[in-house]
Amino acid sequence: MAVRKPNIVHTRPINGRWYLYRYEKDATGKWRQRAIKGEAFDKEMDASLRAAELTVEYSKGKVPLIQDVLLQEVADKWLKIALSRAAAESTKRRYKIHVKQLIDSFGDTPVQKITKELIETFLAEYASTRAPRTVNKTLNKLQAILSAAVDWGYIEASSAGKVAPYKARKARIKAFRPQEVGKIIAAADPIDRVILLLTYDTGMRINEVLPLRKDQIDLEECAVLLEEHESDLKTDAAIRIIPITPEMRDILADYLDGFSFNQATPPDCDNITDPRKVEVLAALNKYGAIKKALEETGVAKSVLWYWRKKDQSFVYAINYAIREARLKRLTCSPYLFPSETGQPISYSNFRKKVWLPLLERLGVDITKKEERFGPHSFRHSFVSEMIQAGEDILTIAKLVGHKDPTTTTREYGHMFVGAQEAAIRRKSERFGNLYAKTMQNNESDDSDKPMSSLVKP
């Protein structure tokens, strides 16, 4: 046991590094560990030598007894460790966003002076412009940081653990019915149909579909190999081999071979007489990107939007040129769905440029707070149909990449209500005859015989 004297400095390892601390009595007379700010070493020998030096300095009264540690220092150290352990890029981005918010609010405040009152005052102001779920996630990061400060000896106890989270009602992601899926896919651009159909056919996350490479598609085995590469995989369980239907295999083969819409009738540009529209089409055919075409011609986005609303022949020509450009990128890119830059399509671009305009064309109200409409809804539709088909929860969890089947139950448990009723109906069909025979046997002489005499070997 370490000698509890305020002038003696001790060493201890934390996460592979050596830190210095010493004991000090608090207001109640109990001994408490106090970390020594700015003292961390990679080797035990270096830490021991520094501890001996500081012990001499403390004995001479040259070092203050208490040194404050700013939250920014603790937060930066915690974030570095958290990022090294996080698997998904989306998780890392969220960590950075929440920690930045905390540093902006508490960065210059010593962790020893962060009280429950200070935290609740911050959360009340933060909640005025943020959803309860966002507030709770930020609180969760603050709790983790202060808990680490306790483990590292900077503070005795965390004041954030006593703060109650905000009540947040989780919006349920809508699972589309097969008829709705058909309408959405039919209204999409042919290439975007492939993305949506693959999501619906496999139950993959949209962030798993968009970064797929061509070599991850095995047409012979009817499977998608989801491995740790550019895909934003959340857990190790997300690394899996996913079977696809023969119909989906044929669609992917057609897509990789140039796609059937490549035989579509080229637009009749003779009907487009506006010189500016002709310039935009020429630039689009040259660069294969709307943004570059607008920069080249100097046409504003609002003008292009107006044209696309009023001139259907121009819309057809624009869409045809974009499809041709996307097919050309496909032939020279390793990715299954390359963007204008040659890299995978990002989720934010897909949602903004494909998904939301698609729902708008179909007249879907996306402002409902009680339901969320997103590409992720196709994943929920996949799970819903698996449940209705009577598949067991372990099989579903493995298909969708859940590490623990309880996650599947928690996320999709509300879908099992109809499945339970269907299971009872199937049970009735299987055992209906048995019930009838049992009732008939009750009236026969066999009812008085022992069970051993009724069961024949």
Examine residue 224 and state whether it is found in any structural domain, yes or no: no
Q: Does residue 82 share a domain with residue 135?
A: yes
What pLDDT, on the 0 to 100 scale, is given for residue 434?
54
Helices H / strands E in the chain, number of each:
20, 8
Is residue 389 a contact partner of residue 396, using CB atoms and an 8 Å limit? no
Is residue 69 a contact partner of residue 112, using CB atoms and an 8 Å limit? yes
What single DSSP character describes residue 353?
Answer: I
336 residue type, one letter: L
CATH of residue 101 = 1.10.150.130
Indicate the length of the chain as a whole number. Answer: 457
User: Nearest Cα to 59, choosing from 11, 7, 96, 94?
Assistant: 7
Q: Does residue 92 share a domain with residue 55?
A: no
Is residue 96 a contact partner of residue 79, using CB atoms and an 8 Å limit? yes
> 87 — phi, psi (to 5°)?
-90, -40
What pLDDT, on the 0 to 100 scale, is given for residue 141?
92
What pLDDT, on the 0 to 100 scale, is given for residue 451?
42
Examine residue 429 and state whether it is found in any structural domain, yes or no: no
How far is the C-alpha of 344 from the C-alpha of 332, rounded, in Å?
13
Helix (H/G/I), strand (E/B), else coil: 271: helix
What single DSSP character describes residue 365?
Answer: -
What pLDDT, on the 0 to 100 scale, is given for residue 358?
87
Query: Which pair of tokens denotes residue 30?
Result: 């109990």
What pLDDT, on the 0 to 100 scale, is given for residue 198?
92
Q: What share of the chain is helix, strand, coil (3-state, %, to 5)?
A: 60, 10, 30
Q: Does residue 148 share a domain with residue 89?
A: yes
How far is the C-alpha of 414 from the C-alpha of 401, rounded, in Å?
19
Q: Does residue 84 share a domain with residue 31?
A: no
What pLDDT, on the 0 to 100 scale, is given for residue 359?
85
pLDDT tens-digit profile, the chain (457 residues): 555 566 678 888 887 888 887 777 665 667 777 777 667 788 888 888 888 888 887 777 655 444 568 888 889 999 999 888 876 777 888 899 999 999 998 878 888 888 888 999 999 999 888 888 889 999 999 999 998 888 877 777 888 888 888 887 665 667 788 888 888 888 888 888 899 999 999 988 888 899 999 889 998 888 888 875 544 555 555 678 888 999 999 889 888 887 654 456 667 776 777 888 888 888 887 777 778 888 888 888 888 877 777 777 887 787 778 777 887 788 788 898 888 778 888 888 898 888 888 888 888 776 665 456 788 888 888 888 888 777 888 888 888 888 877 877 777 766 665 556 666 666 566 565 555 555 555 555 554 544 444 344 4
How far is the C-alpha of 326 from the C-alpha of 337, rounded, in Å?
8
Query: Which pair of tokens denotes residue 50?
Result: 């520094």
Q: Does residue 104 share a domain with residue 51?
A: no
- Mind giving me the DSSP string for 109-165? SBGGG--HHHHHHHHHHHTTTS-HHHHHHHHHHHHHHHHHHHHTTS-SS-SGGGSPP
Q: Does residue 136 share a domain with residue 91?
A: yes
How far is the C-alpha of 293 from the C-alpha of 305, rounded, in Å?
14
Q: Does residue 144 share a domain with residue 84?
A: yes
- pTM for this entry: 0.60
**Cα separation values, 147 from 78, 151, 158, 255, Å:** 10, 6, 6, 52
Examine residue 391 and state whether it is found in any structural domain, yes or no: no
How far is the C-alpha of 139 from the C-alpha of 122, rounded, in Å?
10
User: Nearest Cα to 399, choosing from 418, 412, 413, 382?
Assistant: 382
Q: Could you report the per-residue pLDDT of 5-39, keeping only the tens digit for each?
A: 666 788 888 878 888 877 776 656 677 777 776 67
What pLDDT, on the 0 to 100 scale, is given for residue 454?
37
Is residue 108 a contact partner of residue 182, using CB atoms and an 8 Å limit? no
Helix (H/G/I), strand (E/B), else coil: 242: strand
**Triad 307, 309, 312: Cα angle to 5°:** 80
Is residue 175 a contact partner of residue 415, using CB atoms and an 8 Å limit? yes
Tokens 């009750």 label which residue?
A: 442
Bridge-based pairing of strands 31-41 and 17-25 is antiparallel
What pLDDT, on the 0 to 100 scale, is given for residue 452?
44
Q: Does residue 140 share a domain with residue 90?
A: yes
Count of the separate structural domains present in the chain = 2
CB atoms inside a 10 Å sphere around CB 320 = 19
Q: Does residue 82 share a domain with residue 53?
A: no
Q: Could you report the per-residue pLDDT of 220-258, keeping only the tens digit for each?
A: 888 888 875 544 555 555 678 888 999 999 889 888 887
Single residue among 109, 142, 162 that ends a domain in this structure? 162
How far is the C-alpha of 290 from the C-alpha of 24, rounded, in Å?
67
Examine residue 141 and state whether it is found in any structural domain, yes or no: yes
How far is the C-alpha of 432 from the C-alpha of 160, rounded, in Å?
59
Examine residue 128 and state whether it is found in any structural domain, yes or no: yes
How far is the C-alpha of 368 from the C-alpha of 262, rounded, in Å?
38
Is residue 80 a contact partner of residue 226, using CB atoms and an 8 Å limit? no
Is residue 43 a contact partner of residue 12, using CB atoms and an 8 Å limit? no
Examine residue 100 and state whether it is found in any structural domain, yes or no: yes
| Ordered alpha helix ranges (H), 298-415 | 301-310, 312-331, 347-350, 356-361, 376-388, 393-400, 405-412
Range of the domain at 23: 9-59
> 46 — phi, psi (to 5°)?
-65, -40
User: Nearest Cα to 238, choosing from 266, 262, 204?
Assistant: 204
Q: Does residue 116 share a domain with residue 90?
A: yes
- Mind giving me the DSSP string for 200-236? HHH---HHHHTT-BGGGEETTTTEEEE-SSSS---SG
